[in-house]
Amino acid sequence: MLAAPDSHPPTGATPALRNRPRRNRRLPALRAFAREAELSPSRLVLPLFIHERGDDVPIASMPGCARLSPEGLLREVEGALGEGIGSVVLFPAVEDGLKTLDGAEATNDEGLVPRSIRALKARFGELVVITDVALDPYSSDGHDGLVAPDGRILNDETVEVLCRQALAQARAGADVVAPSDMMDGRVGAIRDALDAEGHTEVSILSYTAKYASAFYGPFREALDSAPKGGGKQTYQMDPANAREAERELALDVAEGADMVMVKPAGPYLDVIRLLRERTDLPVAAYQVSGEYAMLHAAAERGWLDLRSTALESLLSIRRAGADVILTYFARQAARWLAQ
């Protein structure tokens, strides 16, 4: 009598599989069908450093970035628009002689930022101009808020100055004001101030979860805005916390924020995802100077490929849930994506 055929596959053979995820990875078109996150220039915002001087000054720790002169700013924006980048955010490097304890230059209608806004809007009507609302570039103390004699950061007094700063920017033509200071109540106060003066169409992009991060070093070099005494832990968020971001989000939404942001981006992908799941508002993320500098430094040493790692980092931020990414790679990424 013949033995029954062995129903088991030979040792070492692959068992029959109904589900093979690799089938959707086999060809480029199939991979495109299954792709969950897309990266495009329209999702990117280019941060730009500006100053009063007549020449552009490269920033050593941020290859490819510079403090831009008024003419350099126009050239940079023209190039960005040609590559599909439709939004920029401005950060001023303020002359030391204009920095004071009260940060009054931040509210000057004829200051560097308002004049730059007017120049950009006159030349590039389609450009979205975003402005930073905080006092650190203007403060002789280097803090985002007013500093009391005992070293405390004064919340309510700072908010009053921030409202005047946002108004100066709105009068000049800013499309979006972005308070990055992390003072309590500033979103609602700025919204009220803007509306009272008729700037009802100016949006607020709130830095909802801005962490007291170690990744900001090159940015502070670019603006010469490092705090002179103490850190920013009493007003920026603890890097250990995620649930706290939910509280900040609820407050910003209630106060009238149009968009919310997480900063930095890469080390806080979990927080980006958390905010994405808790709000229908657009979520932005800021890939900060330290993230940018690390990739460049590794690429210069031949340890990483700059193009592939930069694009992967941006795609990861999109995958986590960011609708908008502020990144110094914006122009390079747009060119790479077009190739």
What amino acid positions are annotated as catalytic residues?
210, 263
Q: Is the dihedral of CA 40, 41, 45, 49 positive or negative?
A: positive
Please name which of 244, 255, 313 lies closest in space to residue 278, comparing C-alpha atoms: 244
Q: Whose CA is closest to 332, among 145, 134, 63, 102?
A: 63
Q: Compute the distance between CA of residue 120 and CA of residue 129 in angstroms, rounded to an integer.
A: 8
Which residue blocks in 83-200 are alpha helix, DSSP H? Answer: 112-123, 155-172, 186-196
How far, in Å, CA of 61 to CA of 237, rounded? 25
Helix (H) or strand (E) segment spanning residue 50: strand 44-50
The distance between the two most distant Cα atoms of the chain, rounded to a whole number of Å, is: 104
Q: Which residues contact 283 (CB under 8 A, 6 or more apart)?
A: 259, 260, 261, 262, 272, 275, 276, 321, 322, 323, 324
Rounded CA-CA distance 217/105 in Å is: 24
The answer to whether the CB of 213 falls within 8 A of the CB of 279 is no
Residue 160 marked in a binding site: no
